Amino acid sequence: MEVVRFVALAIAGLSPLAAAEFTLTIANPIAANIARMKSAGIAVRLENCADLSKATLTGTGEGTAAGVRKSVSLQVTPGAIPGVYAVGLTAPLEGAWVASLKATCGKELSGAIVPFRGPAFVRDAVKVLPRFATEREIHNALNETTGGPK
C-alpha cells in the first residue's frame, strides 16, 4: 500500500514538470498572416496554453517621441488561428524602441522584451521570460537597443 501511495505521489509531483511551460514565440509579422495588420511589427504565438479562451496578450512600446521618453500601448490583433496575434504600435516612436509583452493563460504568466530598430524587430535580442518583465529589465533593454547608459 505504501508503494502505491509513493508511486501516486511521485506521478502527481512530476506531472507539472512534464507539462510544457506556457511561453511565447515572437516572429516576423508574416507569420501571423493577418492582412489587415500588415503594418504590424511582430507576430506573437502563445505556446502551451491549454485553454486559449482564458489567454490574454497586452503590451506597451517603450521609447522616445520628440525627444521625450514615452510609453505607448500596443495594438494586438488576433489572427484566424487561436493564440496567434499581430502586434504593432498605436503611435509612432522614434528610432530604437522596445516592446514589452504580457501574456496570461489562466494563472500562468509569460512576458517578452522585443527590441526594435525602426520598424524591424531585432530577432537575436528578443528575451522571452516565464513572467512579466520588470521595469528595470525594460529600461536596460531600451538602453542596450538605443546604445544609451546601462
C-alpha span between 141 and 115 (Å, rounded) = 7
Q: Where are the alpha helices (DSSP H) in 57-149?
A: 135-146
Handedness of CA 25, 129, 57, 83 (dihedral sign): positive
Interface ranges with other proteins (CB under 8 A):
25, 27-31, 33, 35-36, 38-40, 43, 45, 118-120, 123
Of 23 and 138, nearer to other proteins (C-beta) is 23
Minimum distance, C-beta of residue 38 to other proteins, in the bound complex (Å) = 4
Closest CB to other proteins among 45 and 138?
Answer: 45
Burial (CB count <10 Å: 0-12, 13-18, 19+), residue 46: buried
Shortest CB 28 distance to other proteins, Å: 4
Least distance between other proteins and beta carbon 141 (Å): 19
Q: What does DSSP say about strands 68-78 and 55-65: parallel, antiparallel, or unpaired?
A: antiparallel
Q: Which is nearer to other proteins, 95 or 106 (CB)?
A: 95
Nearer to other proteins, 54 or 123 (CB): 123
